Amino acid sequence: MEQAARQRIDKWLFFARIIKSRTLAGKFAAGGNVRINSEKIDQASVLVKPGDVLTITLERRILVLRVLGCGQRRGPAPEAQLLYEDISPKPVAAGEAEPVAAQREPGSGRPTKRDRRKIDQFRNSDDDA
């Protein structure tokens, strides 16, 4: 019974839809991108059980997930979301203020195409005189 409550990390990442394929999940886990209860793993055969906390380093973000159960198959997304609870820290400043594009005074900066045509026309008229 205890063995049924555990699952390989590569299978779990695949069933929970964190990684697209089981092969990639195995390489991902073996690459040292996953921590189980703050311990770095280097094998895809490490077993996870409900209650374990996974720290997953993806390209642009870090996920912290609590394992709630082991999957039987790679089902639809709502079924996969039942396997974990997302306890990732939320960015503090991201929700408070949206970044605003820098404002310039009119006429400063690079000229528009229309402005360049006017400048060229003005320069050419000086050469004719």
Low-confidence ranges of the chain (pLDDT < 70): 1-4, 91-99, 127-129
The pLDDT score that the predictor gives to residue 101 is 74
Q: Full-prediction pTM beyond 0.75?
A: no
Q: Dump pLDDT digits (tens) for 86-106.
A: 999 876 555 566 667 777 787
The pLDDT score that the predictor gives to residue 73 is 94
Burial class (CB in 10 A: 0-12, 13-18, 19+), 9: buried
- In whole angstroms, what is the distance from residue 125 CA to residue 129 CA? 7
- In whole angstroms, what is the distance from residue 65 CA to residue 51 CA? 10
